[in-house]
Amino acid sequence: MRKIVIILVNVIIIAAILIFVALYSRFESKKHVGVGKYSLGMRQRLGLAQAIMEDPDILILDEPMNGLDNDGVSEMRDYLLALKASGKTIIIASNSAEDIAVLCDTVHEMNKGVLTTRHRKNCSNDL
């Protein structure tokens, strides 16, 4: 009986995460399609779902907005801001100044693998 309960709880958690990243309805309509056939935006959402599945304290994301349309970018920002508000630390590698301005409290810039700039929002001077 215990195995059944654990499996049921896992299914509920997976469904909740897929709903959170707005992938559940898309998944239901394409559940017999391989992930390789998903659009890049759907794969990005699936990647975020995989990243948060185990409820980590720290998320490391590389270009999470890549391949998303304007609505997808807005939704991904909302997801990341919700995770941030829940106390998660999110490390994002991005070339988008707009994404960085919206999402980040602390910014580290690198040039050719060397840390060149470090600053925090709402601070008058660099650290």
The helix or strand, by DSSP H or E, that contains position 117, with its residue range, turns out to be strand 114-120
pLDDT (0 to 100) of residue 30 = 58
| Contact criterion met (CB below 8 Å) for 81 and 103 | yes
- State residue 89's pLDDT score: 92
What single-letter DSSP state applies at residue 57? S
User: Residue 127 has what pLDDT?
Assistant: 39
Which among 86, 97, 28 is positioned nearest to 57, based on CA atoms?
86
Look at residue 117 in the predicted model and tell me its pLDDT. Answer: 81
CA–CA distance, 73 with 65 (Å, rounded to integer): 6
Q: Where are the chain's structural domains?
A: 2-120
> How large a percentage of the chain has pLDDT more than 70?
68
pLDDT tens, residue by residue, 57-85: 998 988 888 888 888 888 888 888 988 99
User: What was the pLDDT predicted at 126?
Assistant: 40
SS3 58: strand
**In CATH, what class is 2-120?**
alpha beta
Of residues 109 and 25, which shows the higher confidence score?
Answer: 109
